[in-house]
A = this chain, B = another copy of it.
Amino acid sequence: MSDIKHRFAPVPTLRTGQAHPHPEPIGGDTYSAVELMPGFRVVVLDQRKLPTIERYEFLTRVDEVADAIRNMLVRGAPAIGVCAAYGMVVAAVAEKGDGPAFLEAMSAADATLRAARPTAVNLAWALDRMKRITEEARSLEYAVRTERIASEARALHKAEIAACKAIGALGAPFVPENATILTHCNAGALATGGYGTALGIVRAAHEAGKKVRVLACETRPYLQGARLTAWELAKDQIPVEVITDSMAAHFMAKKAVDLVVAGADRIARNGDSANKIGTYGLACIAAAHEVPFYIAAPWSTVDLGCPNGDAIPIEERSERELSHFALPDGNSIQIVPDGVRVRNPSFDVTPHALITAIVTERGVVQPVSEGELAKLATQ
């Protein structure tokens, strides 16, 4: 048993905590996915290192901000949007030239950030918003226009959190006293500007004084549930236990789950909802056990141009994400034999008929149907 050709150094228990670096953070008092520091540096929590290392990285150049998005130090569509907006602030700080030079520099920064993760819809949305302000501010002097850009980015960040809090307030009444809430992936403070969507509902119920506990599915292959959801709930002292994705049915059969709340990546016009792979299976299992199943997402997730779930493209990601277990240093352990194919769809679609309600900041869609969704669209 001694011929293993690779030997690792023993793995120490890591507790490299850093204090929240921002004096007046927007995203959260004890941690945030992303903030704009005084002096216009961007600070991001490196989520790849969680849950054992809580480490903030300071970014002062646009290419560093783009790399942080590309390399997934920050992830979750709303959080990426906020990070990109702050990236534009960094770009504004760096360019001290006149109006045309400023616009040129900002346009280059926009292109760099937009290319960092082209599939995240909120990234483009946030950059479009910043572009409008850039054009308005073009003729202002350096210090004023820089502060104007920073102010807009902070406003965008605050608006994202306000949407999450509205979702929380609208969703909390669905949470009974003493509830066990099952969730999947991470639709929390770490995925948004702060507070979270699915976890926003958990937080709002908790803050309202309801006794709640969360069962977090670990969420293979990236383990966002085990690594991120468990970490942020523990940090906020909300009771949480981690299970494998395959245990949900067992606990529902034992009547240990009162409701399921998940986020969404895209919601079609009829209410069919795409979310992290595994969500649809949870919806099937919840239906079989008559457990209510809620989707929580900002209105920007609703794609009225998409008629139903069949029209939502499902991204199939790299086989290696599943065939190899990533180690914190970038190395990995192979868990699938050579020559064996792996399937890795990153999302699945839950038909609207399996969704008890969709909670957005504009209101609650219940029952979930094209007609009910349309009522909020005209708000």
**Which residues of A are in contact with B by a Cβ distance under 8 Å?**
1, 3-16, 46, 49-53, 55, 57, 215, 217-221, 223, 226-227, 230-231, 234, 240-251, 253, 277-278, 280-281, 284-285, 287-288, 322-323, 325, 327-329, 331-343, 345, 348-349
Given contacts A251-B343, A337-B234, contact A57 B1 (CB under 8 A): yes
When the two chains form their complex, are residues A220 and B245 in contact, meaning their CB atoms are under 8 A apart? yes
When the two chains form their complex, are residues B12 and A5 in contact, meaning their CB atoms are under 8 A apart? yes
* 26 pairs, CB–CB < 8 Å, chain A vs chain B: A1-B46, A1-B55, A3-B55, A4-B328, A4-B329, A5-B12, A6-B328, A8-B327, A50-B337, A51-B338, A218-B220, A218-B336, A223-B335, A227-B336, A227-B337, A234-B340, A240-B341, A241-B343, A243-B343, A244-B245, A247-B277, A247-B278, A249-B280, A249-B284, A284-B284, A327-B333
When the two chains form their complex, are residues A331 and B10 in contact, meaning their CB atoms are under 8 A apart? yes
B residues in contact with A240, CB < 8 Å: 340-341
A377 CA to B17 CA, complexed, in Å:
61
When the two chains form their complex, are residues B280 and A250 in contact, meaning their CB atoms are under 8 A apart? yes
> How many Å from the CB of A251 to the closest CB on chain B?
7
> How many Å from the CB of A149 to the closest CB on chain B?
27
- Indicate which residue in B13, B244, B342 contacts A243 across the interface (CB closer than 8 Å): B342
When the two chains form their complex, are residues A345 and B4 in contact, meaning their CB atoms are under 8 A apart? no
Given contacts A234-B337, A345-B247, contact A284 B280 (CB under 8 A): no
Can you name the residue of chain B whose Cβ is closest to the Cβ of A51?
B337
When the two chains form their complex, are residues A329 and B277 in contact, meaning their CB atoms are under 8 A apart? no
B residues in contact with A333, CB < 8 Å: 11, 325, 327-328
B residues in contact with A285, CB < 8 Å: 281, 284-285
Given contacts A325-B325, A327-B333, A332-B11, contact A281 B4 (CB under 8 A): no
B residues in contact with A281, CB < 8 Å: 246-250, 281, 285
Given contacts A230-B337, A244-B278, contact A6 B14 (CB under 8 A): yes
- Indicate which residue in B11, B14, B340, B348 contacts A253 across the interface (CB closer than 8 Å): B348
When the two chains form their complex, are residues B231 and A7 in contact, meaning their CB atoms are under 8 A apart? no
When the two chains form their complex, are residues B278 and A246 in contact, meaning their CB atoms are under 8 A apart? yes
- Indicate which residue in B6, B230, B287 contacts A11 across the interface (CB closer than 8 Å): B6
B residues in contact with A331, CB < 8 Å: 8, 10-11
A338 CA to B234 CA, complexed, in Å:
9
When the two chains form their complex, are residues B327 and A226 in contact, meaning their CB atoms are under 8 A apart? no
B residues in contact with A246, CB < 8 Å: 217, 219-220, 245-246, 277-278, 281
B residues in contact with A3, CB < 8 Å: 16, 53, 55
A9 CA to B9 CA, complexed, in Å:
8
A16 CA to B6 CA, complexed, in Å:
12
Can you name the residue of chain B whose Cβ is closest to the Cβ of A67?
B1
B residues in contact with A226, CB < 8 Å: 323, 335-336
B residues in contact with A250, CB < 8 Å: 277, 280-281, 345, 348
When the two chains form their complex, are residues B9 and A5 in contact, meaning their CB atoms are under 8 A apart? no
> How many Å from the CB of A65 to the closest CB on chain B?
14
> How many Å from the CB of A316 to the closest CB on chain B?
11
> How many Å from the CB of A3 to the closest CB on chain B?
7
Can you name the residue of chain B whose Cβ is closest to the Cβ of A239?
B341
